[in-house]
Amino acid sequence: MGSGDRRDRLWCEGALMNAAREMGVFERAAHGRGYRFIAGIDEAGRGPLAGPVIAAAVILPPAYEYPGINDSKKLSPRQRESLYEVIARDAVAIGIGVVEAPVIDAVNILQATLTAMKEAVLCLSPLPDYLLIDGLKGISVAIPQETIVGGDGRSISVASASIVAKVSRDRIMVMYHRQFPQYNFLKNKGYGTQEHREAILKYGRCKLHRNSFRFADGDDLQTEFPLGV
């Protein structure tokens, strides 16, 4: 390896470490105020036509850094799976909350998401004493909390939660694919791809579909498509 290649490699490694350190700013600030167990919270599955919304809550060790942990949307499926294993290994605690389609239809997707987040937090052991939540809305638990817009790209614990939530939901949709292969959840994970919409038109809705969700033309699944299998 030439001196230029070595210099480039060292620069890349340094940049990754700096980025990893910047992702811990919110956690270090909370630790500095005396909090011990800081949980990052995020969700996956707000936008699909089918399947649950899933939230994850992750408590990491103090001063934890790991290059590559970032917003799950910026990672490939292989990267997410790899980092999921790292987080599962290193985390102090992980909690998962799941809210299925009928509840989403009953209470709306925002309230379903907040419910899933609350469930994820209450599953943690130890219980956190401070929360970092992706987005604008806090959750109804008696724990000090901070909302962070774009938190999955700014906080390592929120980013970790985004990865755990995304991988967990994808795995659930793979299982549902075995039950309802005609919708190809293996590929689309319940999102409204052209293939998925055509399958709904052909086979009707199944119990996983969110009847309250609307298409761009204003039609919702319940009025536009019949109940199928």
Please check the confidence at residue 12 and state whether its pLDDT lies above 60.
no
pLDDT of residue 22: 86
190 — phi, psi (to 5°)?
A: 95, -5
- 195 falls within a domain: no
pLDDT in tens, 191-217: 999 999 999 999 999 999 999 886 555
- 105 falls within a domain: yes
30, 71 Cβ separation under 8 angstroms: no
- 32 falls within a domain: yes
pLDDT band at 15 (very low <50, low <70, confident <90, very high): very low
In angstroms, rounded to a whole number, what is the distance separating the alpha carbons of residues 166 and 158? 12
pLDDT band at 21 (very low <50, low <70, confident <90, very high): confident
In angstroms, rounded to a whole number, what is the distance separating the alpha carbons of residues 13 and 5? 12
Which structural domain, as residue segments, surrounds residue 117?
3-169
pLDDT of residue 175: 97
Name, in order, each residue with C-beta under 8 angstroms of 9's C-beta and a sequence gap of 6 or more.
Answer: 1
- 87 falls within a domain: yes
Q: Is 146 helix (H, G, I), strand (E, B) or coil?
A: strand
CATH number, position 92:
3.30.420.10
pLDDT of residue 215: 58
In angstroms, rounded to a whole number, what is the distance separating the alpha carbons of residues 163 and 72? 5
Q: Is 108 helix (H, G, I), strand (E, B) or coil?
A: coil
pLDDT in tens, 66-113: 999 999 999 999 999 999 999 999 999 999 999 999 999 999 999 999
**For residues 214-229, average pLDDT:** 55
- 225 falls within a domain: no
- 126 falls within a domain: yes
pLDDT in tens, 109-135: 999 999 999 999 999 999 999 999 999
- 191 falls within a domain: no
**For residues 161-176, average pLDDT:** 98
Give this prediction's pTM.
0.88
- 224 falls within a domain: no
pLDDT of residue 223: 52
pLDDT of residue 145: 98
**Count of domains observed in the chain:** 1
pLDDT greater at residue 194 or residue 10: 194
pLDDT of residue 213: 80
pLDDT in tens, 34-50: 999 999 999 999 999 99
